[in-house]
């Protein structure tokens, strides 16, 4: 059984680190990946530690690259979970041609997905950026509802969250739609795992 997950979000929301660390949390000691971007296409097998160094740390080749990490696990039956780390959604209008091509790749990943995870940086304090993220959330929620796809918004970097940060309001009533997580400390990962496995059972 296959479960395709698209991980989307604005720049610096932590998509790459989430994909790598959550795959490792699921038990992956090595990651099979494919990638397509400005440097062409590629594939390989890499450890989570190597992936963090090559794909997350400053100076790594991440800009404009769409990567899919595959994880195989058993949940009473074989289950393959593919996490697609999409390119960042940008606020700039109009988008330059190169950025439009990146957006097309992200939209294609969303269309193929059974589940869309939207990462929202809870440390963000820029009002215009928060407004942009809100628009992304509403658009994705509406699109997933119409297409019958599962949609899971997650608040990333909760380990860095300050109570005074504007995004913190998203964790308070009446807006309870964000699950706070930390890819660094792995807070919230058990709940995401339960959600993914429930989604896989629905597809079975």
- In this predicted model, what pLDDT tens digit does every residue of 42-99 receive, in sequence order? 899 999 999 999 888 665 555 678 999 999 875 566 789 999 999 989 877 777 777 8
pLDDT, position 59: 53
Residue 39 pLDDT class (50, 70, 90 cuts):
confident
Smallest CA-to-CA distance from 183 within 70, 20, 51 is with 20
Cα–chain center distance at 97: 24
Residue 16 pLDDT class (50, 70, 90 cuts):
very high
Give the whole-angstrom CA distance, residue 194 versus residue 185: 18
In the structure encoding, which two tokens stand for residue 87, read together? 């390119």
Q: Mean per-residue pLDDT for 127-143?
A: 89
The helix or strand, by DSSP H or E, that contains position 42, with its residue range, turns out to be: strand 40-46
CB 68 within 8 A of CB 84: yes
CB 179 within 8 A of CB 191: yes
Cα–chain center distance at 110: 11
Give the whole-angstrom CA distance, residue 178 versus residue 11: 18
Domains for the chain: give ranges and CATH numbers: 2-203 (3.40.50.300)
In the structure encoding, which two tokens stand for residue 43, read together? 């594939």
The region that residue 86 occupies, defined by phi over 0 for left and psi between -120 and 50 for alpha, beta otherwise, is: beta
Give the whole-angstrom CA distance, residue 4 versus residue 7: 10
At 167-192, the pLDDT tens digits run 545 544 444 467 889 999 999 999 99
Instruction: Tell me the residue length of the chain.
Output: 204
β-strands 78-85, 115-121 pairing = unpaired
Give bridge partners of residue 89 from the DSSP assignment: 10
């Amino acid at each position: 059984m296959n479960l395709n997950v698209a991980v989307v979000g604005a720049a610096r929301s932590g998509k790459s680190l989430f994909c790598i660390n959550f795959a490792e949390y699921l038990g992956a000691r090595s990651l099979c990946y494919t990638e397509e971007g400005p440097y062409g296409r590629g594939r390989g097998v890499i450890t989570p530690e190597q992936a963090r160094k090559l794909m997350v740390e400053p100076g790594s080749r991440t800009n404009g690259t769409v990567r899919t990490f595959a994880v195989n696990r058993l949940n009473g039956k074989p289950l393959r979970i593919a996490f697609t780390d999409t390119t960042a959604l940008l606020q700039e209008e109009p988008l330059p041609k190169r950025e439009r091509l990146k957006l097309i790749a992200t939209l294609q990943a969303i269309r193929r997905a059974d589940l869309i995870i939207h990462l929202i940086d809870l440390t963000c304090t820029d009002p215009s950026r928060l407004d942009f993220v809100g628009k992304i959330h509403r658009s994705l929620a509406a699109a997933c509802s119409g297409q019958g796809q599962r949609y899971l918004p997650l608040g990333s970097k909760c380990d860095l969250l300050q109570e005074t940060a504007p995004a913190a309001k998203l964790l308070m009533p009446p807006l309870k739609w964000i699950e706070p997580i930390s890819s660094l400390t792995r807070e919230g990962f058990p709940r995401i795992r339960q959600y993914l496995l429930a989604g896989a059972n629905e597809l079975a």
